[in-house]
Amino acid sequence: MNSGKIIRRGLYCSSLLLLALAISGCSEVQRDIPSPKGQETKETQDTGREPGTLRVLYWNIQNGMWYDQEHNFSNFRDFVAKYDPDVCVWCEAQSIYKSGTSTKMAAKDRFFPGGWDNFAKSYGHLYTAIGGYRLYADDYYPQVVTSKYPIETVLKITETDPSLIPLPDGFDHTKTGPGYYPVAHGAALQRIRVNGQSINIVTLHLWPHAYSYYAKFVTKKTSDSSKIGEGNIQREKEITYICQHTYLDSQFKGEENWLMMGDFNTRSRLDNWYYKFSGDDPRLSSHDYILDNTDYKDIIALQHPGKFFMTRTWVADGNPPRYDFMYASPSMYDRVVRAEIIYDLWCPVVHTGISNYYTPSDHYPILVDFKI
């Protein structure tokens, strides 16, 4: 698999167009939302689809759609129903905080993930599946898949060191070592079957911080300048493990239909014509692994050459980046008939005044239709 290398080295485009959010009809006032300067805005209008397509909707819904939980998730449900996807992949699919606050709620009061079955049925999905879930290690950010088609959970991924699952006397971060790189927010391989065809779906959510997992949970040295940048190593270790145990694993040889999607929390070389980082910038390393070792296709980049799409509403080190990706194997990529970032949420993306929380999320969704 080396076609990714050709794409990686060849796709450096000079033109720039960003489709950004232009929403009205909400009582809240839109504040200053960071966006690349001098770009056009365009609201997503078309919710229709061609007959005979499979529609996949991916979104990091920020703390279990924290923003809409005080409305019983009615706005969220209506948004999903509006686009009528066949498959949804949700990152950060657990309720954590009390409405309008950064105060953790009691486990018994959390609607998600336990409530996904019933909630998914409200927008027409009869099947749900949760991915690898490191709650035992104090992680609250699983991915959940909902679908109109039955879902088979093939693999749940959490620890890169199998000896840590389970520890006989309970998980203890201090029993790990400096080279400990777990798949921090978990991952999974789920499978659906559509019109007699199996489609493998890899879900993930890579580590978000500049420092490593070990620095946060063991050494507690997250502000140590010598540790800054280790987050890139953490993410690359995670994506390497995920790819090697899913798409690149010999046990799946001959299976052609693959999708991989999630919040990668880092940038891709295919967008570097826009970022203009040095060629060896470590922030590109995680996607470099994919481009150099698989033939996965970056759907959004290849469907919209020369255009940049932010999917994160903010970032500390410059303009908002594209952190969210949907990759496809060649056979699935060849079936793409529509691919876009959705910018027409029910309400403007507004900072809440609480830490980095935005409404309704600090990420934008990805919508892709495949001819099936």
* 3-state secondary structure labels for all residues of the chain: CCHHHHHHHHCCCCCCCECECCCCCCCCCCCCCCCCCCCCECCCCCCCCCCCEEEEEEEECHHHHHHHHHHCCHHHHHHHHHHCCCEEEEECCCCCECCCCCCECCHHHCCCCCCHHHHHHHCCCCEEEECCCCHHHCCCCCCEEEECCCEEEEEEECCCCHHHCCCCCCCCHHHCCCCCCCCCCCEEEEEEEECCEEEEEEEEECCCCCCCHHHHHHHCCCCCCCCCCHHHHHHHHHHHHHHHCCCCCHHHCCCCCEEEEEECCCCCHHHHHHHCCCCCCHHHHHHHHHHHHCCCEEHHHHHCCCCECCCECCCCCCCCCCCEEEEECHHHHCCEEEEEECCCCCCCCEECCCCCCEECCCECCEEEEEEC
So what's the pLDDT on residue 319? 78
> pLDDT, tens digit, for every residue of 308-328?
999 998 877 677 899 999 999
Confidence band of 28 (pLDDT split at 50, 70, 90)? very low
CB-count exposure of residue 166 (10 Å: 0-12, 13-18, 19+):
exposed
Residue 14 in this model has a pLDDT that exceeds 70: no
So what's the pLDDT on residue 12? 29
So what's the pLDDT on residue 166? 65
Q: How many percent of the chain have pLDDT more than 70?
A: 87
> pLDDT, tens digit, for every residue of 181-205?
999 999 999 999 999 999 999 999 9
Residue 45 in this model has a pLDDT that exceeds 80: no
Specify whether the CB–CB gap between 60 and 360 falls below 8 A.
no
With b for 16 or more beta-carbon neighbours within 10 A and e for fewer, the 259-274 pattern comes to bbbbbbbbbbbbbbbb
Q: How many percent of the chain have pLDDT more than 90?
A: 69
Tell me the C-alpha distance between 100 and 359, whole Å.
Answer: 10
| pTM of the predicted model over 0.75 | yes
Identity (one letter) of the amino acid at 272?
N
Confidence band of 172 (pLDDT split at 50, 70, 90)? confident
- According to DSSP, the residues that pair with 338 across neighbouring strands are 369
So what's the pLDDT on residue 242? 98
Q: Which residues are CB-contacts of 202 (< 8 A; sequence separation ≥ 6)?
A: 187, 188, 189, 190, 242, 246, 247, 258, 259, 260, 261
Q: Which residue has the higher pLDDT, 360 or 38?
A: 360
> pLDDT, tens digit, for every residue of 221-250?
888 877 778 999 999 999 999 999 999 999
- Between 39-48, 64-73, 241-250, 350-359, the lowest mean confidence (pLDDT) is in 39-48
So what's the pLDDT on residue 6? 35
Average pLDDT over residues 71-80: 96
Specify whether the CB–CB gap between 130 and 158 falls below 8 A.
no
So what's the pLDDT on residue 42? 61
Confidence band of 168 (pLDDT split at 50, 70, 90)? low
Specify whether the CB–CB gap between 68 and 76 falls below 8 A.
yes
Average pLDDT over residues 146-165: 91
Residue 261 in this model has a pLDDT that exceeds 80: yes
Tell me the C-alpha distance between 274 and 254, whole Å.
Answer: 36
32-41, 208-217, 230-239, 317-326 — most confident range: 230-239
